[in-house]
Amino acid sequence: MSERQVRLSIDGLHKGYGVGAARKEVISDLTFDVHAGEFVCIVGPSGAGKTTLLKCLTGLHPASAGAVRLDSKVVDGPPRQMALVLQEYTRSLMPWLTVEKNVRLPLANLKLSKAEREQRITDALREVGLSDVRTSYPWQLSGGMQQRVAIARALAYRPEVLVMDEPFASVDAQTRADLEDLMLKVRQDFGITIVLVTHDIDEAVYLSDRVVVLTKGPCTVDEIIPVELPFPRDQIETKSDPRFVDLRARVFSRIKASA
Ligand SMILES: Nc1ncnc2c1ncn2[C@@H]1O[C@H](COP(=O)(O)OP(=O)(O)OP(=O)(O)O)[C@@H](O)[C@H]1O
Give bridge partners of residue 222 from the DSSP assignment: none
Q: ipTM value of the model?
A: 0.96
Q: How far is CA 246 from the centre of its chain?
A: 24
pLDDT, tens digit, for every residue of 1-16? 444 899 999 999 999 9
Intervals of CATH 3.40.50.300 along the chain: 35-81+159-259
Residue percentage of the chain with pLDDT more than 70: 99
- Does the pLDDT at position 177 exceed 50? yes
Q: In CATH, what class is 35-81+159-259?
A: alpha beta
Instruction: Quote the ligand 1 centre to 217 CA distance (angstroms).
Output: 9
pLDDT, tens digit, for every residue of 107-124? 998 999 999 999 999 999
Closest ligand 1 atom to 54 CA: 18
Confidence of residue 89 (pLDDT cuts 50, 70, 90): confident
Residue percentage of the chain with pLDDT more than 90: 92
Give residue 33's pLDDT.
98
Give 89 or 116, the one with higher predicted confidence: 116
Confidence of residue 30 (pLDDT cuts 50, 70, 90): very high
Instruction: Quote the ligand 1 centre to 106 CA distance (angstroms).
Output: 27
| Ligand 1 close to Cβ of residue 210 (< 6 A) | no
| Ligand 1 close to Cβ of residue 232 (< 6 A) | no
DSSP character string of 150-216: HHHHHHHT--SEEEEESTTTTS-HHHHHHHHHHHHHHHHHH--EEEEE-S-HHHHHHH-SEEEEEPS
